A and B are shown apart, each in its own frame.
Chain A
Amino acid sequence: MFYDLLILTSHIIGIIAFLTALIALYLFPRLIFSLKLLCIYVVIASSSETVAMALVDVGKPNIFTYHFYVFFEFFFLSIFFYQEFRRNGKTLPLIPILIGGTSLIIANTIFLQPLDTFNSYSATLVSLLMLVYCIYYFMLSLENSNESNLFNTLKWIVTSIFLFHCVSIVVLLFSNMIMKMEDVYNSAIWFTRSIILLAIKLIILYQFIRMLKFHFSNKRLINDGQ
């Protein structure tokens, strides 16, 4: 039962991610750099979901897609947060983080957890890093809070990233153990995560729809409050 539900939720997530990606692509030229990075992240997430789903549908293993997804998530969200911290007058050692993180993710895939296993170490580390980024972002937003549309959109998106990684970190930490569990438990856990992921994808989709609405009503979203 959980497996069927998991498949259903994954398909719904895939559709939502696809819609978000379409809006992101449409809005892309009109957005500030940090939102452009978010768009790229959304498109990559959507593509990764689609490929993973397609592979499941044809009965092929799809774990390797997660290796690529983790790398892209780390790469683009790091630059996104770097941009956001810079907008708030703070800086981040971006180049060392990117080089160090990329090396660790690649080393993990080559030496520790190859493409046919879950990259739980690197994914957990990335999740941990995202949580640190989010908390730092929240702290900075306390100092520079304003009522602008841009601020609210970014706050919601970062909140959803934070919520997702709070839950993901637990699942990812035990992912290889989960994979060895009985099917019913395995599916139940992934289903729980997918429900939270669904909620988060809906929040992100809503924020992109808001951006689209602002775009069509000619209201300033993209660079106000800066």
Chain B
Amino acid sequence: MKKLVSIEKAISHIEDGMTIMIGGFLAVGTPEKIIDALVEKGVNNLTIIANDTSFVDKGLGKLIANKQAKKVIASHIGTNKETGRQMTEGETEVILVPQGTLAEQVRSAGAGLGGFLTPTGLGTIVEEGKDKIVIDGQTYLLEKPLKADVALIHATVVDEKGNCYHAKATKNFNSLMATAADVVIVEAEKIVPVGELDPDMVNTPSLFVDYIVEGDK
């Protein structure tokens, strides 16, 4: 199966109203070129799941600034004033989730789990509307998995089979999100023939990846 496609072909899988996950942490290790193409294409009413909403002119912050999200699920929006403005004025629904809970929600979805129990958020507004479960005398919140229609991830090196290496601090949510969406598109800084990426260096095995697009170095 040939996974290497043009960005246009890859994002033809993204339609209005879809739920998309986007890898990266404050735009470090984020699929910048795919985001630019989505801004250009103008798909709307997206539900975006990401660690943060980056900056107004960087990473997925550009999708927010272009008003393409109807809902955002993230742990932090403080670096993008536009997200806060849209939330305050009721234009965009923002659900704030503790970062560790968000990572585990994505991991749970990818791992086929029905959710998990965490002490994080107990006694805060995060617990509102959630079931509490006591295990061996300790109270936990029941958190449910988070899935997406499409995950847009970034990798430093990808082989033509789809194996990904995410260098240094770009691992963040990239390898997790690759497990939790129906369609996974990876933007590669460098694409190499099969056999050139040492299996020991693979953070995201090829089986999770549907499409590979070429990004910038």
* A, B co-complexed: no
A contact set with B: CB distance below 8 Å:
none
Interface residues of B (CB under 8 A from A): none
